[in-house]
Homo-oligomer: A and B are copies of this chain.
Amino acid sequence: MATSSKRNIKENSIIDAAEKVFSRQGFANTKMEDVAKALGMSKGTIYFYFSSKENLYMAITYRAFQALIDTFYESVSATKDESGLEGLVGLMKSFIAFSEENFLYSEAMLDFISFVRSTSEGSLDGKITDAMKESSYYERVKDIQNIPINIFLKEIERGRNDGSILNKQKPELIYLYAWAGVLGFVKLNSTSGKKTTILKVEISDWRNYIISSTRTLLRDANA
């Protein structure tokens, strides 16, 4: 445990640094050298902990899912005394905040699902496929990727049971719609630095509108 946790600490510090550098420069524009420099260590050391750049990214992806799961559980717990609708609204708020604060995580999760979708059919480039799949984190991520979705679906069910959600669409569809809206929101805002407006719209107004639309749509039995 002692040894193992020491190693874990180091691994985590590497992931920490990698997150920062990838966030700033993007995955493709970042050399392993950059990550090493940010840590004051040598490239070789990073490879001692992570077998490849892809694997390092996968580790970040794993963190991303874990963090989202934590965020979701916290949200659910905070709204457990309110209606299911408010539970869902809480999830949406959390999701938006999470995605804005961790754009890299948002990208990583998207990359992952794109990757999984693409490879389940054998398209895409062979080498990337292998590099990804050989990552020790790949399976781990696969194991937890659906947890956020399930949390979301459960809240929909709760809202239907308590009558706060009248929308009759398939829960998964509602999730996809919500996810897409959040994804588009952060994509359009990304690399915006400290900007607070886009197209003369206050980003906070947009954020609020996503929430209010969610309410509107969930309450509407015909939506």
Please tell me if A6 contacts chain B, counting CB pairs below 8 Å: no
**A170→B201 contact, CB < 8 A:** yes
Could you say which of B176, B193, B216 contacts A201, with CB atoms under 8 Å apart?
B176
Q: Does A121 contact B (CB under 8 A)?
A: yes
Oligomeric state, in number of copies?
A: 4
Interface string of A172-195 (1 = CB under 8 A from B): 110111011111110110111111
A206 to B180, CA, bound (A): 11
A–B complex contacts, Cβ < 8 Å, 20 sampled: A110-B188, A113-B188, A114-B188, A117-B191, A117-B192, A117-B193, A117-B195, A121-B195, A172-B200, A173-B201, A176-B198, A176-B206, A177-B181, A180-B180, A180-B185, A183-B184, A183-B187, A183-B188, A184-B184, A216-B217
